[in-house]
Amino acid sequence: MSAKDMVIELNKLAEEGLITRYSARLRKESAEQRVIAETSKRIENEGGNSKIVVSGRKDNISII
């Protein structure tokens, strides 16, 4: 595949909104990881015995 063909394919994907959705999903996952890291750091600094539990579902994060 030539560079020109790749540009054409990327433009098609952009028109279909696939790149936008992929980018949004990556931003959401990155934000979730930052929250987990910051919460974990806060718990360590407070000297608590709590821990963060992340289930198979990304929307289910618990502190125990």
> Nearest-CA neighbor of 61 among 30, 28, 39?
39
| Mean pLDDT for the chain overall | 81
Q: What is the mean pLDDT of residues 36-59?
A: 73
**Of 52 and 15, the one with more pLDDT:** 15
Is the confidence at residue 63, as pLDDT, over 60? no
pLDDT of residue 29: 93
> Nearest-CA neighbor of 63 among 33, 43, 34?
43
pLDDT of residue 5: 92
Is the confidence at residue 56, as pLDDT, over 70? no
Which residue bears the tokens 């994907």?
A: 13
Three-state DSSP at 48 gives: coil
Q: What is the mean pLDDT of residues 35-56?
A: 76
